[in-house]
Every structure is written in structure tokens, then in C-alpha cells.
């Protein structure tokens, strides 16, 4: 019997967190003793929300889930997963279009570390067409993002997106 605590890592850009992401976090938190939400710091992918803002928004929405931690990471996901002694990567799958890319990433990570598993959770049907980009686009043009992002961070997102960007 393996008595080690089970740690999972849910990685992503979360620019910003949506209801789709939060649903995966809640469901995955029940599968592990500890779930680490890993916010990717990617220099080549321009994010609208800063690293600190993205982490803060996720923390605001997950403060009531005791076994969820939020951290940012740079570099290879497998390295971050190993450093945290995690045994699995969690990914959300929306449409078939997510599948091909995620399959490639899962195979690549498996190639790097044979012990590492990737667990896919199917997106809830009502979130299956939801993405951070869609939320940003909608908010930027003054559309209503209610029901697409957690209520507690809705205003933060609207304020950020409607402020002139420079
Ligand atoms: P996005 O595609 O919205 O920019 P991220 O890169 O932050 O999202 O994605 C992080 C993880 O969350 C990925 O595994 C992605 O498939 C998953 N995900 C994104 N949007 C949803 C959603 N609406 N429902 C379930 N999972 C999602």
C-alpha cells in the first residue's frame, strides 16, 4: 500500500480564470489530497493579466477549498510537477479540438517521465465553449460576462478589460 499523499498539478495560463477552469479545480480537488493550480509564466505568450493578478484571481475563488494551492511556475511543466512531488497532471478537455494538442503534450510528458500520468476531466457541457480569450473579447467590447466567470472576480475582469491598454 502506498501511503504517500497524492498531489496533482492543474496547469494553465488562466488569463483570466473562467467558470470552466473553476469547475475543473473543484472536481480535481476531490481526486487528490492536494491540488496545485500552476499558473504558467510564459514570456512568449503575452498575457493581459499579470502573473500576480492571475494568481490573486484564482486564490480569491478557491479560498474555500482547503486542499487547493495556487502558484506560478516558469519553464518545463514536468520539472515543476517533480519539484512538488506530484504524481499527476490534470487537464480539462472541451471539444475534440483540444484533444489532439493535449494528446501530444501528454505523450511528450510521458516520454520525459514514465511515472507521470495526465488525467483528463471532461468540461461540463455548459462550459464547453468557454475560453479565457472569449471572456476577454466579450468584456473588452462591453458584453456581459455574467455566468462565464466566478461572480467574485467579475468586476476585477471588467475593470481590467475596459481600462485603456498600453
Ligand atoms: P484557455 O484555453 O481558456 O486559455 P488555459 O490555457 O488557461 O485556458 O487552460 C488551462 C486548462 O484548462 C487546460 O487543460 C484547458 O483545456 C482547460 N480549460 C480551459 N477552458 C476550460 C473550460 N471551459 N472547461 C474545462 N476546462 C477548460
Would you call 110 a catalytic residue per the annotation? no
Q: Say if ligand 1 is within 6 A of residue 118 CB.
A: no
Would you call 21 a catalytic residue per the annotation? yes
Average pLDDT for 53-60: 98
Q: Supply the pLDDT for residue 97.
A: 79
- Give the integer Cα–Cα distance in Å for 121 and 113: 21
Average pLDDT for 139-163: 95
Position in ligand 1 atom list of the atom nearest CA 130: 23
Q: Say if ligand 1 is within 6 A of residue 130 CB.
A: yes
Answer whether residue 57 shows pLDDT above 60.
yes
Burial class (CB in 10 A: 0-12, 13-18, 19+), 75: exposed
Q: Say if ligand 1 is within 6 A of residue 49 CB.
A: no
Residues with Cβ within 8 Å of residue 157, at least 6 apart in sequence? 16, 57, 135, 139, 145, 149
164 falls in which pLDDT band (50, 70, 90)?
A: low
Q: How far is CA 137 from the centre of its chain?
A: 19
Counting every residue written for the chain, the total comes to: 166
Answer whether residue 1 shows pLDDT above 60.
no
Candidate list 94, 110, 131, 154, residue with the active-site label: 94
Would you call 63 a catalytic residue per the annotation? no
Q: Can you give the pTM of this predicted structure? A: 0.93
Position in ligand 1 atom list of the atom nearest CA 122: 25
Amino acid at each position: 500500500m502506498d501511503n504517500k499523499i497524492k498531489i496533482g498539478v492543474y496547469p494553465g495560463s488562466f488569463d483570466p480564470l473562467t467558470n470552466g477552469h473553476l469547475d475543473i479545480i473543484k472536481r480535481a480537488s476531490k481526486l487528490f489530497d492536494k491540488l496545485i493550480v500552476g499558473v504558467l509564466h510564459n514570456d512568449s505568450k503575452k498575457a493581459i493579466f499579470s502573473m500576480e493578478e492571475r494568481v490573486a484571481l484564482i486564490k480569491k475563488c478557491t479560498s474555500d477549498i482547503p486542499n487547493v494551492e495556487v502558484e506560478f511556475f516558469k519553464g518545463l511543466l514536468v520539472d515543476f510537477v517533480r519539484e512538488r512531488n506530484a504524481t499527476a497532471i490534470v487537464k480539462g478537455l472541451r471539444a475534440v479540438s483540444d484533444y489532439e494538442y493535449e494528446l501530444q503534450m501528454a505523450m511528450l510528458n510521458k516520454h520525459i517521465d514514465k511515472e507521470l500520468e495526465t488525467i483528463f476531466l471532461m468540461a461540463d457541457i455548459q462550459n464547453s465553449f468557454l475560453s479565457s480569450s472569449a471572456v476577454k473579447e466579450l468584456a473588452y467590447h462591453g458584453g456581459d460576462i455574467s455566468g462565464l466567470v466566478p461572480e467574485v472576480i467579475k468586476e476585477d475582469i471588467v475593470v481590467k478589460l475596459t481600462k485603456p491598454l498600453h
